[in-house]
């Protein structure tokens, strides 16, 4: 990373720490940190999503492809389908803190990590998954809300019936607002790993 890119990372970090950032800032930060992040890790994979809205490789692609293959075999084989997030909230938080520390920058607070991950979920909705040719699409990412969580869902369809099956890919709790912090201080102070 050259001096200009490092200066941009520092500026974006300042916006994140202040809570004065948007989805575009998060996309810019991921794009800058992507190349120096480990392959298969959260920042590299999320950065690849930011760069390529139709995915034909990577950990999330492999996960959706394996779910799609198991769904295709239901009733013909004894498969065990384990539904889990590809990257946990705490893994993503740790990856960002490590990448920022590599630039001499401070880690983000729990609340900022939650807000960052909310921006990531928003940014990734609508991504589609395809075979290597990019022509045959088999899944997508969509957003869902529960009482206390926001989820990025993988969506694949049973081939025979066309019925969609949804499962979590990335989940975060609602970011804590000032009023929530007063009314539910324990919930707002929990770390991402404690909310899983």
pLDDT tens for the chain, residues 1 to 196: 889 999 999 999 999 999 999 999 999 999 999 989 988 888 988 888 777 666 666 666 677 777 777 666 665 666 566 666 778 889 999 999 999 999 999 999 998 998 999 999 988 888 887 777 767 777 788 898 888 888 888 887 776 667 777 878 788 876 555 555 555 555 555 444 443 3
pTM: 0.75
- Domain segments of the chain as ranges: 3-194
Instruction: Give 53's contacts (C-beta < 8 A, 6+ positions apart).
Output: 126, 127, 128
Q: List phi, psi (to 5°) of 48.
A: -65, -40
């Amino acid at each position: 990373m050259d001096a200009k890119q490092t200066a941009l990372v520092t500026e974006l970090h300042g916006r994140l720490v202040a809570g004065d950032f948007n989805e575009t800032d998060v996309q810019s930060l991921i794009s800058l940190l992507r190349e120096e992040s480990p392959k298969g890790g959260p920042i590299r994979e999320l950065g690849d999503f930011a760069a390529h809205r139709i995915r034909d490789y990577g950990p999330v692609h492999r996960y959706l492809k394996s779910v799609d293959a198991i769904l295709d075999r239901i009733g013909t084989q004894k498969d065990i389908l384990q539904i889990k997030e590809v990257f946990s909230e705490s893994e993503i938080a740790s990856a960002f803190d490590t990448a920022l520390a590599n630039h001499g920058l401070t880690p983000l607070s729990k609340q900022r990590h939650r807000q960052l991950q909310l921006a990531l979920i928003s940014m990734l909705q609508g991504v589609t998954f395809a075979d290597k040719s990019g022509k045959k699409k088999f899944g997508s990412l969509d957003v869902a809300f529960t009482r206390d969580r926001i989820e990025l869902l993988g969506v694949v369809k049973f081939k025979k019936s066309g019925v969609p099956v949804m499962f979590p890919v990335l989940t975060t709790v609602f970011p804590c607002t000032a009023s929530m912090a007063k009314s539910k201080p324990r919930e707002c102070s929990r770390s991402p790993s404690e909310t899983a």
